């Protein structure tokens, strides 16, 4: 029996630059951290907005085992038209009944059945079904099918994310926040054992504003005029993720750790250059 089942959860991957960073780093990180399952948020992968079939297959080829999404999930029509083909991707489960796509996924790793779910917050976000009630229903449905459940809670407000952590404390193995693209330093095990972090951060250009070209974002803030936002594609690369260790006997988290890597160049010999925090 292994000492732990190690899950690497990668924060929001932004555009082609973010995908390039993942492609370069992931093989090294999986080897160094002895990763058993890799999950990533892919809702910003296609030039900052949603996903395509080509990028979905690219992620699988990189070694990503499952994908979660968020509020940009439907911004590429290809996702809506082909979503049944994306069998390793979960979309937010609190869309109304009848919405296409998977609202959960179960993956078996070293005899541990890991359930993966994705929910959208409602504070400063589109008005959807209640994520707390949706979580309750999903946990009840997955109870007999899984040993542990990991939630990607794609939400804006840290208060709402923290509330979800305590709401599911002791019932979900992990509540991992996404969406803000800024990694938080509040990773911990909650009182009843759930691993929690408010935001796992992002993968993309470090010298950007949440992955987008800073000049465009600044112009919007300063002038309040419409401005197209595009992913930044130059400078140092930033890789944010969390490593979740699960006890294979007790079926409970042992620890949650932040993983942060800055690449000064995408041409580095990463095997010798990376620094994991």
- For 204-219, what is each residue's pLDDT tens digit? 999 999 999 999 999 9
* Alpha carbon distances (Å) from 60 to 29, 65, 68, 81, 259: 16, 6, 13, 20, 21
- Smallest CA-to-CA distance from 204 within 20, 72, 8 is with 20
Domains in the chain, CATH or no CATH each:
5-273 (3.60.21.10)
Predicted confidence (pLDDT) at residue 164 exceeds the cutoff of 90: yes
| Cα gap 212→141, rounded to integer Å | 38
Percent of the chain with pLDDT over 70: 96
Mean pLDDT value across residues 209-238: 93
| Cα gap 72→226, rounded to integer Å | 19
Predicted confidence (pLDDT) at residue 43 exceeds the cutoff of 70: yes
pLDDT value, residue 36: 98
pLDDT value, residue 109: 96
Model pTM? Answer: 0.95
Mean pLDDT value across residues 39-54: 95
Beta bridge mates, 6 = 245
Top pLDDT among 126 and 106 is at 106
Helix 131-142 and helix 158-167: axis angle, to 10°? 30
What is the chain's Cα-based Rg? 18
Mean pLDDT value across residues 21-47: 96
- Smallest CA-to-CA distance from 68 within 41, 101, 30 is with 41
For residue 268, name the pLDDT band (cuts at 50, 70, 90). Answer: low
pLDDT value, residue 267: 72
Beta bridge mates, 245 = 6, 255
Q: In what helix (H) or strand (E) does residue 257 lie, and over which residues does it extend?
A: strand 252-263
Active site residue ranges: 72
Q: What is the mean pLDDT of the chain?
A: 94
pLDDT value, residue 183: 98
First to last CA, the chain: 28
pLDDT value, residue 275: 63
Instruction: Say how many residues make up the chain.
Output: 277
Give the pLDDT confidence of 58-99 residue by residue, as tens digits: 999 999 999 999 999 998 988 888 888 999 999 999 999 999
For residue 225, name the pLDDT band (cuts at 50, 70, 90). Answer: very high
pLDDT value, residue 226: 87
| Cα gap 163→158, rounded to integer Å | 8
For residue 266, name the pLDDT band (cuts at 50, 70, 90). Answer: confident
- Smallest CA-to-CA distance from 263 within 18, 38, 63 is with 18
* Alpha carbon distances (Å) from 29 to 181, 182, 211: 20, 20, 21
């Amino acid at each position: 029996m292994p000492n732990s089942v190690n899950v690497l959860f990668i924060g929001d991957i932004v555009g082609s630059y973010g995908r390039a960073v993942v492609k370069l780093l992931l093989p090294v990180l999986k080897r160094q951290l002895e990763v058993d399952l890799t999950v990533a948020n892919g809702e910003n992968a296609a030039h900052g907005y949603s996903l395509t079939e080509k990028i979905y297959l690219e992620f699988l080829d990189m070694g990503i085992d499952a994908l979660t999404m968020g509020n940009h999930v439907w911004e590429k029509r290809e996702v809506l038209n082909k979503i049944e083909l994306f069998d390793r991707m979960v979309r937010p489960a609190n869309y109304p009944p009848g919405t296409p796509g998977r609202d959960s996924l179960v993956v078996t790793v070293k005899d541990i059945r890991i359930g993966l779910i994705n929910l959208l917050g409602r504070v400063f976000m589109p008005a959807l079904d209640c994520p707390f009630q949706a979580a309750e229903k999903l946990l009840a449905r997955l109870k007999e099918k899984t040993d542990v459940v990991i939630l990607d809670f794609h939400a804006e407000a840290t208060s709402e994310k923290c509330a979800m952590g305590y709401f599911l404390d002791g019932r979900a193995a992990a509540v991992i926040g996404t969406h803000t693209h800024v990694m938080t330093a509040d990773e911990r095990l909650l009182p009843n054992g759930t691993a929690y972090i408010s935001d796992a951060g992002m993968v993309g250009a470090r010298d950007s504003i949440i992955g987008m070209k800073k000049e465009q974002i600044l112009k919007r803030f300063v002038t309040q005029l419409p401005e197209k936002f595009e992913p930044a594609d130059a400078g140092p690369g930033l890789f944010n993720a969390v490593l979740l260790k699960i006890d294979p006997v007790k079926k409970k988290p042992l620890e949650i750790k932040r993983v942060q890597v800055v690449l000064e160049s995408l041409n580095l010999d990463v095997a010798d250059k990376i620094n994991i925090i």
